[in-house]
Amino acid sequence: MSFHPEFCRNESEVESKFIVQYLLPQLGYTPDTWHQEVSFGKIRLDFLAFAVQTMPFVLDASSPLSVVMEAKHPKQNLNKHIHRLRQYLTSLNVEYGLLTNGKEVRIYKTYNNDIKLVFQCLGKEIDAKIDEIKKLIGRDKLKDNPSIKEAGVLNSQYPTQSVSPEISKTKGKHIMKIIAVYHNKGGVGKTTTVVNLAAAISKRGKKVLVIDLDSQANTTFATGLVKFDDEEFDDIREYNILNVLKSEEFYSISEVARKSNFCNPEIDVIPSHIDLMNGEIELNALEYTRFILIEKLEEVQEEYDVVLLDTPPSLNLYARIALIAADYLIIPSDLKPFANQGLTNVKDFVKAVNAFRKQMRKEPLEILGIVPCKISTNAKFINATFKNRIRKVYERYGIDIFNTVIYERDDLAKCAEKTLEVGNMEVADPISVLDFKPNSLSAQEFELLAKEVLKKIGMAQ
């Protein structure tokens, strides 16, 4: 088995393709001797590997914790993460720490209350250097000497602690992915993209949650949650995304999420409400507002595979909350002049959000690319104007463009306009285009989009 760093385009691929598929097996760590997403209080480790595993963990000079492995985005400078790795190793009494972005690999060793670089190589050199790494952190090497007293690292100044860590139940198999769908230009097909992409991902066996953060509530309507034709019977006002964002202790995701039969299998939806317009001023005054969605999503991270955040076409608080909480960003666009000009605002907005994420020690938001939407099916337009627009957008704004194109077709409009008679009322009863006409071109386009998205976020089947 060999490793090629160019195969890792994001942090999740560094984790899956380098650490899980290549490095851990090469070093002799079997699935029962390593864990992913391990929490000790406020400390969260990407990977924790054991030479000899004992439970509960005792954090003293004889600690069995052997190697902490931290994965970063290929574009990340590893120097920015040394301080955090030092905190992990010295706080948990772990002898070795490995830090990598796929392009570079570093190994640090704990000495007294500090760490020292003991190995460094490029990702492309890893095959040639693997024996040197085995001599440092290979399981056979460490299990022969599980105590780290010999290194002169720890002594009586470190108290003994018995700790019960929080470990991902699926040992590295399950990581919930959060995707924001955003453009600050309206009318570009954002809602259509969100709801049908959710349906397509659900049909690929993934558990999907959609959160509507737009006060226009288009996604709430599009997923069939509005079953009243008079505001007197509004059953969404008391349980919607505004309630989630206003309360630290109440209105959990599980409590507010609703089942939607918009598609089969069903998806869960957190509805929006027009009250979000008035709620923004109040939320801006609350210190925890920008963090509350992150915290509440963490509570359900074992329940969902993919979370899609539908955003307002603006630079307001709700869009900011979505981009702070998300791992990835998809930008739907019809590639017309005003939408293209708005990409500058999108890039500036992402830059500002990333500055805030950096303060939170959160990885930068990864832009997956622009999804061309509402594109005319006119052959002359496709072969000339459309191709020219794609080329210019990439050249001017430097944002990748998805291979999948969502064309403007009648089926997309018809499936969204379906209604249902309830007594004397006629209420909206939309369904996804994949359920409306499974063999249609529109359905096939969203199937391709789902496949491309899942591949980009490291969840391809």
Spell out the domain ranges in the chain. 5-167, 177-456
Beta bridge partner(s), residue 116: 109
| 62 pLDDT tier (thresholds 50, 70, 90) | very low
- Identify the pLDDT of residue 145: 57
DSSP H or E segment with residue 329: strand 328-333
Q: What is the mean pLDDT of the chain?
A: 85
- Identify the pLDDT of residue 444: 95
Average pLDDT for residues 8-36, to the nearest whole number? 86
For 263-293, write each residue's pLDDT tens digit.
999 999 999 988 888 888 888 877 678 888 9
Ramachandran quadrant class, 223 (left: phi over 0; alpha: psi -120 to 50; beta: rest): alpha
SS3 419: strand
Give me the helices (H) in 168-252, please: 190-202, 218-222, 241-246
Q: What are phi and psi of 119, to 5 degrees?
A: -160, 145
- Identify the pLDDT of residue 81: 87
Q: Give the Å distances, CA to CA, from 408 to 165, 284, 377, 378.
A: 50, 38, 7, 10
CA 183 – CA 313 distance, rounded (Å): 6
Question: Peptide bond before 265: cis, by omega within 30 degrees of 0?
Answer: yes
Region 5-167: CATH code? 3.90.1570.30
For 428-441, write each residue's pLDDT tens digit.
788 999 999 999 99
Region 177-456: CATH code? 3.40.50.300
Q: Give the Å distances, CA to CA, from 116 to 50, 59, 83, 363, 447.
A: 21, 20, 12, 24, 49
**In sequence order, which residues have a C-beta less than 8 Å from that of residue 448 and are 6 or more positions away?**
403, 404
Give me the helices (H) in 209-308, please: 218-222, 241-246, 253-256, 276-284, 289-298
Would you call 111 exposed, middle or buried from its count of C-beta atoms within 10 A (0-12, 13-18, 19+)? middle
Q: Give the Å distances, CA to CA, from 224 to 220, 358, 392, 433.
A: 7, 38, 38, 14
Question: Where is average pLDDT lowest: 1-10, 36-45, 363-372?
Answer: 36-45
- In 3D, which of 376, 416, 414 has the Cα closest to residue 218? 416
How do beta strands 57-58 and 162-163 pair? antiparallel
Q: Give the Å distances, CA to CA, from 430 to 104, 114, 413, 417, 440.
A: 49, 59, 10, 6, 17
- Identify the pLDDT of residue 230: 65
Q: Say what angle helices 337-359 and 387-397 make with each other, to 10 degrees.
A: 30
CA 180 – CA 380 distance, rounded (Å): 33
Say if residues 304 and 314 touch (Cβ distance below 8 Å): no
pLDDT at residue 398 greater than cutoff 50: yes
Average pLDDT for residues 214-222, to the nearest whole number? 92
How do beta strands 306-310 and 177-181 pair? parallel
Residue 225: CB atoms within 10 A of its CB come to 22
From first CA to last CA, the distance across the chain in angstroms is: 21
- Identify the pLDDT of residue 143: 74
Rounded to two decimals, the pTM is 0.64
CA 92 – CA 49 distance, rounded (Å): 13
Among 163-172, 279-288, 375-384, 442-451, the range with the most confident prediction by mean pLDDT is: 442-451
Name the residue with tokens 């944002």: 399
Average pLDDT for residues 21-35, to the nearest whole number? 87
- Identify the pLDDT of residue 155: 32
Name the residue with tokens 């796929």: 102
Cα 259 versus chain centre, distance: 22
Residue 60: CB atoms within 10 A of its CB come to 17
Instruction: Count CA within 13 A, CB hemisphere, residue 347.
Output: 14
- In 3D, which of 327, 36, 25 has the Cα closest to residue 169? 36
